[in-house]
Structure 1
């Protein structure tokens, strides 16, 4: 399935939610990553329609000083039990980890006009769903780090493979070799996701890095701190988080009508579904077995799109027993 036409509606869904031109990467690296990672809309749609796993590239924190960095490196290396690898393939033992933490902190202390509270390193997790081949993921992470950070920002990384859920902890020094400071934006994260997915595909691991709307997801994921507080509250171990209380109060207001942002979500879903439906008809009329198979793939993808719902809709269903058994107004798809 490689001959899908240019799908204008789906290309709209593939556009990142932020302008990649706002990324802080240098133009040279940015151009190389664009060309290597994005691919055309037809190939990307084929992967999305087959429910290819999505990569996760997540910034998990920053270290404040040498001691904090040392503790973080000890954690990701499991106190020396796991290998920490650097840009040139160097493997750090426990003493090497301590020396690296001291060296990075000293480099930061000598930075001209540096702030006392400037973070030393950026912590990034590269992950795929459970069952992904750990060795190939590790190799893809190595290629990703080398291309994105290269000789500009020193880094180390380690593979964790507990419970057959492999992921890589990547720690990058925020002070570059040329004095540039690493300060990624959302656009950088999207480009990083695309580059990591491309590195995995080069190693025969199916992976994609599409925006939520390309997969039919309309609600943002719950932030990890809020999720943990909510789960603790639901288990009876603490008060409801303020964000949840405010969301419930807002959802309880029956103002009538449809929120304008929900109307926009449905309009976008309409455009995507129309483009995909036209593509399914085109392949279905081709008359050959391969065309019908492609048409069935598109139809199955459209049928499986989740409802166009906001967080307010979900909360209202939980608050109102009469709404719990009622299907979403669009039956899971846009009208």
Structure 2
């Protein structure tokens, strides 16, 4: 009976798989050939990390250098003008200003040999690998080194520098766009997810419980705001994107339009499916009667319960607008009540 119920369950990997095609399936995405719906050890381990909220890695492309001057400036920036050591794909450590100049000259010479590059083509791709505050910085650097070797070491020159002047330990990794095979590095969204998973795997090998799940796995549907937008908000300046979004919501409210967007319905449906998938597996785990399974089932249910509401940016703005209107209405009512009390007191004194 239990086996039949398990066979009817959709694979739990649905909740963390990205919709993008990836070069290869990870072990936690690979079903058991004998029973495709069974939780494999790798799937269970990933599920346990997710519901226990293991720290999420960040692997982000911060930009591309388009010319020699730009490249040299970027190398000076990540090394703090030679104050921080830089390590190359060969394991050589470039120290001080002399090391920086040697590195800049080497990359400049190689750039001159790249005569097939388009005028707007990139010389390098700049990446940040980061972990939350409190993570062992030495482990982060060792994991970044291993990640770079595995990802680029056999085809692309690169250099990386660790920064410790921020609460989040992170590594700046600059990779030469042109590979030794003559192909240019052009990472897509699916590649970034693979990179995140690889970096998280290197951290786990070194004792750090790290994960690399897409937002939807954790019930989050909104993308993080761009750094420039966040910087404007911190300076109390309303970004153009915020102004336009508010104007759109105001037009909808004033026009009495409450129609859901098609993409909002798709997001809600997908989140409903993800959350139900978690709960289905929690129920199945609890049926086993094993204490370990029962504990995991409880964690899964609590994880789903704590997931944020499914709200798009438009929904949030509408809610904020409604709360603002309610606040103003209450203030107006309180002001009227105060005026009435004052009038009553004056009338009583005049009698």
TM-score scaled by length of structure 2: 0.80
Q: 1:48 maps to which residue?
A: 50
Match in the other structure for 2:243: 245
Cα distance in structure 2, aligned partners of 1:283 and 1:35: 23
| Contact preservation (8 Å) 1:36, 1:198 | no
Question: How many angstroms does 1:319 deviate by?
Answer: 1.6
1:71-94 per-residue CA deviation (whole Å, 9 max, x = no partner) reads 222221122222100112100122
Residues 223 and 171 (structure 1 numbering): CA distance in 2 closer, same or farther, change over 3 Å? same
Q: Which of the numbers 319, 322, 327 marks the counterpart of 1:320? A: 322
Distance change >3 Å, CA 213–CA 170, structure 1 → 2: same
SS of 2:198's partner is: helix
Does the Cα contact within 8 Å between 1:53 and 1:128 map onto a contact in 2?
yes
C-alpha distance in 1 between matches for 2:122 and 2:138? 31
What CA distance in whole angstroms lies between the structure 2 residues aligned with 1:323 and 1:308? 23
Q: Distance in 2 between matches of 1:323 and 1:43?
A: 47
Label 1:37 to 1:59 Cα distance change in 2 as closer, same or farther (>3 A): farther
Residues 132 and 168 in structure 2, CA contact (< 8 A), matched pair in contact too: yes
Structure number, greater radius of gyration: 2
CA–CA separation in structure 1 for the residues paired with 2:104 and 2:216:
41
Worse overlay, 67-76 or 134-143? 67-76
Displacement of 1:146 in angstroms is 0.3
- In the TM superposition, residue 13 of structure 1 has moved relative to its aligned partner by 2.5
TM-score, normalization: structure 1?
0.83
Distance, in Å, in 2 between the alignment partners of 1:108 and 1:128 is 32
- Name the counterpart of 2:159: 156
Matched, 1:66 2:68: yes
Alpha-carbon contact 1:70-1:97 (below 8 Å) kept = no
Shift of residue 98, structure 1, vs aligned partner: 1.6
How many Å apart are 1:188 and its aligned residue?
1.2
Q: CA deviation at 1:132?
A: 0.5
SS at match of 1:219: coil
The verdict on how the C-alpha distance between 1:38 and 1:53 changes in structure 2, with shifts beyond 3 A counting, is farther
Decide whether the 8 Å contact of 1:119 with 1:174 is kept in 2: yes
How many Å apart are 1:191 and its aligned residue?
1.0
1:8 is paired with a residue whose SS is coil
2:122 pairs with 1:119 = yes
Partner of residue 270, structure 1: 272
- Contact 1:284-1:292 within 8 A present in 2 as well: yes
Q: How has the CA–CA distance of structure 1 residues 36 and 174 changed in structure 2, closer, same or farther, with 3 Å as cutoff?
A: farther
SS in 2 for 1:318: helix
Residue 214 of structure 1: aligned partner: 217
Q: Shift of the alpha carbon at 1:293?
A: 1.2
Please say if 1:139 is aligned against 2:142: yes
Question: Within 5 A, what are the aligned runs for 1:170-185?
Answer: 170-185=173-188
Greater length-normalized contact order (CA 8 Å, ≥ 6 residues apart): 1
**Closer, same or farther in 2 for the Cα pair 1:323/1:141, shift >3 Å?**
farther
- From the superposition, tell whether residues 82 and 281 of structure 1 become closer, same or farther in structure 2 (CA, over 3 Å): same
2:198 alignment partner in structure 1: 195
Cα drift, residue 17 of structure 1: 3.8
Give the superposition deviation at 1:37: 8.4
- 42-51 or 305-314, which moves further after superposition? 42-51
Structure 1 residues 56-85: Cα deviation after superposition (integer angstroms, max 9, x where no partner): 000111223223222222221122222100
Specify whether residues 145 and 201 from structure 1 end up closer, same or farther in structure 2 by C-alpha distance, changes over 3 A only.
same
Distance 1:283 1:13 in 2: 16
Q: Bigger CA drift: 147-156 or 112-121? A: 112-121
Range that drifts further, 51-60 or 103-112: 103-112
Change (3 A) 1:207 1:138: same
Deviation string, structure 1 residues 291-331 (Cα, Å, up to 9, x no partner): 32122111111111110000001111222226889xxxxxx
